[in-house]
């Protein structure tokens, strides 16, 4: 029904697919609709094309994901159904959280682009490791799971993550680098 591509192939295909989603994110993401209103009337969001949307919706049998419907949809007013109060609080919170954070770049050998994470949200090394695994998991399957997490400190030296107390690490870490494969195994005496 979906054109003869098996599910295993689909995963590999997905991993190399050029799309707006970031690595590690699950099934197709799309820019979700936004409504930005305050109590006073502001510029109204663009109206959705009713007929386009309806036509796309009436074909439930096409593919497992509704990617084609998404492509034709414009922004949808009032969706998802969340109270404006909550949405507004959210935006305010995100703004302050992002402003305050300790953002560092994370690169992984072989990944086409980098990520950025906020070190302040993690309580310690364990949480950091879990978060990084999660973020880059789509690449793990390809090359096996030997890797080492390193960071560049204030002096520009490449250090192994985990040696110093967490607070000292967060205050001296400038960027993170995940080293994979043979290099990682050679570099590490014991694991982590």
Asked if 45 contacts 32 with a C-beta cutoff of 8 angstroms, the reply is no
Interacting stretch for another protein, rule CB under 8 A, among 10-18, 93-101, 157-165, 170-178?
93-101
Interacting stretch for another protein, rule CB under 8 A, among 106-114, 116-124, 139-147, 172-180?
116-124
By CB under 8 A, residue 30 contacts another protein:
yes
- The correct pick among 25, 68, 171, 192 for binding another protein (CB under 8 A) is 25
By CB under 8 A, residue 90 contacts another protein:
yes
By CB under 8 A, residue 116 contacts another protein:
no
Tally helices (H) and strands (E) across the chain: 8, 5
Residues whose CB falls within 8 Å of the CB of residue 151, separated by 6 or more in sequence, listed in order: 104, 158, 159, 161, 169, 173, 174, 175, 176, 177
Cα 126 from Cα 91, distance rounded (Å)? 29
Angle (CA) 74-76-81 rounded to 5° is 155
Comparing CB distances to another protein, the nearer of 124 and 187 is 124
Cα 14 from Cα 153, distance rounded (Å)? 35
By CB under 8 A, residue 154 contacts another protein:
no
By CB under 8 A, residue 48 contacts another protein:
yes
162-181: contacts with another protein (CB under 8 A): none
The least distance separating another protein from the CB of residue 81, rounded to whole angstroms, comes to 5
Comparing CB distances to another protein, the nearer of 84 and 171 is 84
Phi, psi at 150, each rounded to 5°: -125, 165
């Amino acid at each position: 029904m979906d054109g003869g591509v098996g599910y295993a192939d689909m995963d590999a295909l997905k991993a190399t697919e050029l799309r707006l989603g970031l690595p590690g994110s699950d099934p197709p993401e799309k820019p979700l609709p936004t409504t930005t209103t305050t109590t006073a009337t502001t510029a109204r969001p663009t109206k959705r094309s009713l007929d386009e949307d309806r036509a796309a919706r009436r074909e439930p049998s096409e593919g497992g994901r509704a990617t084609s419907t998404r492509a034709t949809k414009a922004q949808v007013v009032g969706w998802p159904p969340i109270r404006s109060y909550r949405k507004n609080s959210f935006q305010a919170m995100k703004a302050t959280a992002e402003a305050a954070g300790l953002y560092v770049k994370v690169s992984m050998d072989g990944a086409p682009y980098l990520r950025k994470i906020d070190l302040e949200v993690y309580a310690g090394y364990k949480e950091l490791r879990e978060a990084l695994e999660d973020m880059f998991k789509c690449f793990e399957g390809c090359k096996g799971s030997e890797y080492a997490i390193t960071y560049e400190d204030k002096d520009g030296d490449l250090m192994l993550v985990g040696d110093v107390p967490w607070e000292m690490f967060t205050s001296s870490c400038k960027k993170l680098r995940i080293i994979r494969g043979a290099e990682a195994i050679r570099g590490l005496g014991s694991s982590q």
